[in-house]
Amino acid sequence: MAIRNIRTDEDEILRKVSKSVDEINQRILTLIKDMAQTMYDAKGVGLAAPQVGVLKRVVVIDVGGGLFELINPEIVKKEGEQIDIEGCLSLPGIMGDVKRPEIVVVEALDPKGEKVTIQADGLLARALCHEIDHLDGILFKDRVIKFVDEDELRKRRKG
Ligand code: ZN
């Protein structure tokens, strides 16, 4: 396992559309392990393969309830809406409010190639949407309703 270099905004790879994984080989399994380690090391709650320079449809997410390792994830259902603050390991120093569905259903493959269906709400729904956006070259700042600076964040935490 290895920690990989997280690409930032200036890297045009973040704007490209990732390709589906058609064979879960050792390379993909190593990628997934490295991504999880890289995410935990950076204290993030999610990471998508393009963020480590690989244009494959792979994401890892852990919002505190355990690790999801998802291959070819797809949102098959969205319901309701929520507005909350978001950030991104590829966009250090930028935060903002983003509107996301309150509930999503995501279908994907796990590292064993088994189909998994995840029904998620709240932060996990938000993280799934954010990471799957990365696979289509979309960054959260494209969807920001209002950018939030440190002062504003401090005020909100107090209130
Ligand atoms: Zn991100």
Q: Got the DSSP string for 106-145?
A: EEEE-TTS-EEEEEEEHHHHHHHHHHHHHHTT--GGGGEE
Using left for φ > 0, alpha for ψ between -120 and 50, and beta otherwise, residue 74 falls in beta
CA atoms within 13 A of residue 114's CA, in its CB half-sphere: 5
Between the CA of 111 and the centroid of ligand 1 the distance, in Å, is: 21
Band (95; pLDDT cuts 50, 70, 90): very high
**Residue 139 corresponds to which amino acid?**
L
pLDDT at 5 over 90: yes
Active site residues: 131
Question: How confident is the prediction for the chain on average, in pLDDT?
Answer: 96
pTM above 0.85, yes or no: yes
Helix or strand holding residue 18 (H, E): none
| pLDDT given at position 112 | 98
Between the CA of 64 and the centroid of ligand 1 the distance, in Å, is: 17
Between the CA of 128 and the centroid of ligand 1 the distance, in Å, is: 10
Band (148; pLDDT cuts 50, 70, 90): very high
pLDDT at 21 over 80: yes
| pLDDT given at position 64 | 96
Band (158; pLDDT cuts 50, 70, 90): confident
Tell which CATH architecture fits domain 12-158: Alpha-Beta Complex (3.90)
The pLDDT tens digits of the residues spanning 44-73 come to: 999 999 999 999 999 999 999 999 999 999
What residues contact 134, with CB distance under 8 A and at least 6 apart? 14, 18, 48, 50, 51, 59
Between the CA of 129 and the centroid of ligand 1 the distance, in Å, is: 10
| pLDDT given at position 7 | 97
Between the CA of 36 and the centroid of ligand 1 the distance, in Å, is: 14
The pLDDT tens digits of the residues spanning 99-139 come to: 999 999 999 999 999 999 999 999 999 999 999 999 999 99
Between the CA of 47 and the centroid of ligand 1 the distance, in Å, is: 6
| pLDDT given at position 1 | 74
User: Domain locations in the chain?
Assistant: 12-158
| pLDDT given at position 96 | 97
